[in-house]
Chain A
Amino acid sequence: MKDSIDSHVTADGRTIGGVLMEMRDITLRFGGVVAIKGISFDIREGEIRAIIGPNGAGKSSMLNVISGFYHPQEGDVFFRGEKRPTMRPYEVARMGIARTFQNIALFEGMSVLDNIMTGRLTHMNSGILSQALWWGRAQKEETANREVIEKVIDFLEIQSIRKTPVGRLPYGLKKRVELGRALAAEPKLLLLDEPMAGMNVEEKEDMSRFILDVNDEFGTTIALIEHDMGVVMDLSDRVVVMDYGKKIGDGTPDEVRNNQQVIDAYLGVAHD
């Protein structure tokens, strides 16, 4: 896959477009610790892009850079060809980037519906007062937002827990609710931090199907971090491999699988 190709159609009929986001020579340091060392890669419109690597490789840091939560000391992030200035997380959300977290970050005491509704925040324009009074524009807005959310609920097949407080749900369902909240924002780019961690085989299969369906039905570009190699190789169009903050591989699942450096990183060889 070369950068010169502007768009192409995959074997299963999806269109992969031009570059949506590009990381150029990103370096991220926490004090003396270098988490990411001069990494460059891009994410194309409509693709499923995986970031893999052993523990501590810097994957989650990378995702936090993409989401605008961490600001790299060196390097630039380009969004649709334009250099992205340093942004606050909510500004990034407005650009159409949504994410889920490795350790679920939902409001435990709130219902599934309300949790997913928080994902619509960036689409709400009415003021606090009219929202509190539920009057005029706020009312109309909530109805419109509720419609979007109900479609997400239908899509994720969680109708039966709509009114259940999240704290009472099992882990696998919480993950699904979190995905729902991210989808409610109608993102262009969806970042998933270990969406299958701690799941059993059946839950993984369900989640994989939802990820593929999101990509297929809404054309959402997806960048995900995942440990389960089988899942990564099945789901993604391209894979970036990281190890100790460096990029050691980039390409299609097949290319990456046969990359000697990647094999070494995973099977473990002595590092200098």
Chain B
Amino acid sequence: MATSAGAAAKLTSIPSLLKRNAREFGDSPASREKEFGIWQSWTWAQVAQQVEDLALGLLSIGVARGDHIAVIGRNRPHLYWSMVAAQSVGAVPVPLYQDAVGDEIAYVLGHCGAKYIIAGDQEQVDKVLEVEGQIDGLEHMIYLDGRGLRKYDHSRLTSYGALQEKGRAVKADLGAELESRTNALGYDDKCVMLYTSGTTGRPKGVVLSNRNIIETSKNSAEFDRLSVGEEVLAYLPMAWVGDFIFSIGQAYWSGFCVNCPESEETMMTDLREIGPTYYFAPPRVFETQLTNVMIRMEDASRLKQWMFRKAMDHARNVGPRLLDGEAVSALDRFRYFLGNLFVYGPLKNTLGFSRVRVGYTAGEAIGPEIFEFYRSLGINLKQLYGQTEASVFITQQKDNEVSADTVGTPTPGVELRISDTGEVFYRSPGAFVEYYKNPESTADTKDAEGWVATGDAGFIEAETGHLRIIDRAKDVGKIADGRLFAPKYIENKLKFFPNILEAVVFGANREKCTAFINIDLTAVGNWAERNNIAYGSYQELAGHDRVLDTIQAHVEEVNASIAEDEMLSGCQIHRFLVLHKELDADDGELTRTRKVRRRIIEEKFSDLIAALYDGSSSVSTVTEVTYEDGRKGSISATLKIRDAAVGAATDRMAAQ
């Protein structure tokens, strides 16, 4: 960003960035939202006015420095402005997940002691009112969409518009106070507090300072050369650190426009209309889009199918090389040009990716085929590795150093270290200040020198210098002969097959690795239908010999790929079985976010695990299940156990 040193010195808070943007890019769009079928936009100058009105309104109801202001609702420009307005008066915004249930909200509100809440609509207001008894100190609530709220008691409830109105009225009295509070904001003041989703225990409030957010935004924006002309779509939860960095941090630093969709359901249409130049999505989104494309191609005419296949084969060969700037023959370039004219171009347009200059995915492993598909279309999709505590960025891939199984090199300003146990540590300007009201956890995670433990195990690839994440550090173990055991890494490889929904790999402190597999009913059912295989239930399909053959082929393919990896070659799967029921959060086998709960599965299916290791070829079992309405029942089944071929790198052959 081209700013003089004098001006840069004062850019120590988001409100100060807003002032600069209003001054320097006053007429360029800052926020856009589709409402009533039309994209409504606000320039930076208008946003600055909106924020000022609201900030004065907040002052008029008595918001003090350091107060926490919770913000809850779907992505809307007004809610983003309200976070900046909160900062302008010296308060700290605390965005919450809009789909959080009452109890979760009650915990967070109670923990941060929020006195004020800015809620999107009636649904959010209702949730807060429902738990009002459990929290104290709540003084006032502000709502954006007044529908259905007309009859509510308005003694402690004000509409967003009315508060801004009030703000405008008191400008003469409180304008100076606002000015002084905004100007007092320094680099070390709190910028935002974000609650981690908390896979283990209660959510923790991660405090990020202006330094964290602004330094990180600056470094990462420079890394990808983000400019005032970028367009992004804000559709991921506002409580997630990524959204805060993309839609506030980087947007205010670079001055680009943040677009909010009309509703959750219209996201894909809005994406197409906006055509973002900078885009982030978790692997799941890319996966769903690809599946939709494939399903629609199956229904297309023969000619179109042929064109698609031809073009995609060529793209797979040439596309990634073109992106990486490698040498490609003139003929291949010409064929790619034709493919782009007839297939890639229209396809990218349909997906809303025509203009994507930088795309990121992160959060979990992405299947190499999915990754390659988008890259071969010419979409510059990259991976990054980050977490809330780091203000997102730890490592990211450079434009021409992209691969499906690494997460890139450290973001500028980040130092990386791998501990003796294999855990990844980092130190960066983005590293968080503390966990709010939780000094013990803070001390456990961040040491005196500023090194932060990620909780992930990984290593740096010797030849490329890229970081590769293997698994959560606490899940990584050793098999009996001392070789590394990283279950999630193997499970992810298995889950990349559309036929496999879930996999659980065992092997810690055992002689060899074995696995439970869950088939994906949609994919396998579809296959069964096309192959005239009749089945009456999930259980019957899961036990079908031809299904087992297919799964065995998948397992062996995974084994072959792991065998090449010297660190993890011990993790090859020797024996497996296909479970007779889907692992389910209702039965406690998965968390609500669909993560495998290893310990519970190990206990519950101990008989099956025993059978995997005693060499028997089948096992009978009875399993308790919980139906959706809470009733319990049980299913009994006889499961076949299969041996899978393992690669040469392991010296021990499969049992029997």
Contact A154 B265 (CB under 8 A): no
Q: Which residues of B contact A108 (CB under 8 A)?
A: none
Whole-angstrom distance between the Cβ of B197 and the nearest chain A Cβ = 27
> B263: which of A147, A159, A213 is its contact (CB, 8 Å)?
A159
Q: Which residues of A contact B36 (CB under 8 A)?
A: 147, 150-151, 153-154
A13-B153 Cα distance, complex, nearest whole Å: 11
Whole-angstrom distance between the Cβ of A165 and the nearest chain B Cβ = 15
* Chain A 127-171 near chain B by CB (<8 Å), digits 1 or 0: 000000000000000000011001101110101101000000000
Contact A150 B147 (CB under 8 A): no
Q: Which residues of A contact B150 (CB under 8 A)?
A: 216-217
A146-B35 Cα distance, complex, nearest whole Å: 13
Residue of B nearest to A157 (CB): B263
B591 an interface residue at 8 Å Cβ cutoff?
A: no
A155-B147 Cα distance, complex, nearest whole Å: 9
Contact B148 A154 (CB under 8 A): no
> 20 other contacts beyond A159-B262, A162-B37, with CB at 8 A cut-off?
A12-B151, A150-B37, A150-B38, A151-B36, A153-B36, A154-B35, A154-B36, A157-B263, A159-B37, A159-B263, A159-B265, A159-B266, A160-B262, A160-B263, A160-B266, A213-B148, A216-B150, A216-B151, A217-B147, A217-B148
Q: Which residues of A contact B266 (CB under 8 A)?
A: 159-160
Whole-angstrom distance between the Cβ of A8 and the nearest chain B Cβ = 16
B269 an interface residue at 8 Å Cβ cutoff?
A: yes
Q: Which residues of A contact B263 (CB under 8 A)?
A: 157, 159-160
Q: Which residues of B contact A150 (CB under 8 A)?
A: 36-38
* Chain A 1-36 near chain B by CB (<8 Å), digits 1 or 0: 000000000001100000000000000000000000
Residue of A nearest to B148 (CB): A213
Contact B269 A160 (CB under 8 A): yes
Q: Which residues of B contact A12 (CB under 8 A)?
A: 151
Interface residue ranges of B260-305 to A (CB < 8 Å): 262-263, 265-266, 269
Residue of B nearest to A150 (CB): B36
Q: Which residues of A contact B269 (CB under 8 A)?
A: 160
Q: Which residues of B contact A217 (CB under 8 A)?
A: 147-148, 150
Residue of A nearest to B145 (CB): A154
A162-B266 Cα distance, complex, nearest whole Å: 10
- Given A150-B37, A154-B36, A162-B37, are A13 and B265 also a contact pair (CB < 8 Å)? no
A155-B145 Cα distance, complex, nearest whole Å: 11
Whole-angstrom distance between the Cβ of B257 and the nearest chain A Cβ = 21
Interface residue ranges of B12-44 to A (CB < 8 Å): 35-38
A150-B36 Cα distance, complex, nearest whole Å: 5
Q: Which residues of A contact B262 (CB under 8 A)?
A: 159-160
A217-B148 Cα distance, complex, nearest whole Å: 7
List the 4 closest pairs (A to B, CB-CB), nearest first.
A160-B265, A150-B36, A160-B266, A150-B37
Whole-angstrom distance between the Cβ of A183 and the nearest chain B Cβ = 14
* Chain B 29-61 near chain A by CB (<8 Å), digits 1 or 0: 000000111100000000000000000000000
Q: Which residues of A contact B147 (CB under 8 A)?
A: 155, 213, 217
Q: Which residues of A contact B35 (CB under 8 A)?
A: 154
Between-chain CB contacts (< 8 Å), 29 pairs: A13-B151, A147-B36, A150-B37, A150-B38, A153-B36, A153-B37, A154-B35, A154-B36, A155-B147, A157-B263, A159-B37, A159-B262, A159-B263, A159-B265, A159-B266, A160-B262, A160-B263, A160-B265, A160-B266, A160-B269, A162-B37, A213-B147, A213-B148, A216-B148, A216-B150, A216-B151, A217-B147, A217-B148, A217-B150
Q: Which residues of B contact A157 (CB under 8 A)?
A: 263
Residue of A nearest to B150 (CB): A216
Residue of A nearest to B36 (CB): A150
* Chain B 135-164 near chain A by CB (<8 Å), digits 1 or 0: 000000000000110110000000000000
Residue of A nearest to B263 (CB): A159
A216-B150 Cα distance, complex, nearest whole Å: 9
Q: Which residues of B contact A154 (CB under 8 A)?
A: 35-36
A268-B265 Cα distance, complex, nearest whole Å: 46
Whole-angstrom distance between the Cβ of B227 and the nearest chain A Cβ = 31
Whole-angstrom distance between the Cβ of A216 and the nearest chain B Cβ = 7
A151-B38 Cα distance, complex, nearest whole Å: 11
A69-B35 Cα distance, complex, nearest whole Å: 37
A12-B152 Cα distance, complex, nearest whole Å: 10
A268-B36 Cα distance, complex, nearest whole Å: 50
Whole-angstrom distance between the Cβ of B525 and the nearest chain A Cβ = 22
Interface residue ranges of B234-263 to A (CB < 8 Å): 262-263
Q: Which residues of A contact B38 (CB under 8 A)?
A: 150
Whole-angstrom distance between the Cβ of B420 and the nearest chain A Cβ = 53
A72-B45 Cα distance, complex, nearest whole Å: 63
A13-B36 Cα distance, complex, nearest whole Å: 29
A13-B148 Cα distance, complex, nearest whole Å: 12
Whole-angstrom distance between the Cβ of A159 and the nearest chain B Cβ = 5
Whole-angstrom distance between the Cβ of A146 and the nearest chain B Cβ = 8
Residue of B nearest to A209 (CB): B148
A13-B59 Cα distance, complex, nearest whole Å: 32
Whole-angstrom distance between the Cβ of B350 and the nearest chain A Cβ = 15
Whole-angstrom distance between the Cβ of A150 and the nearest chain B Cβ = 4
Whole-angstrom distance between the Cβ of A170 and the nearest chain B Cβ = 14
Whole-angstrom distance between the Cβ of A151 and the nearest chain B Cβ = 6
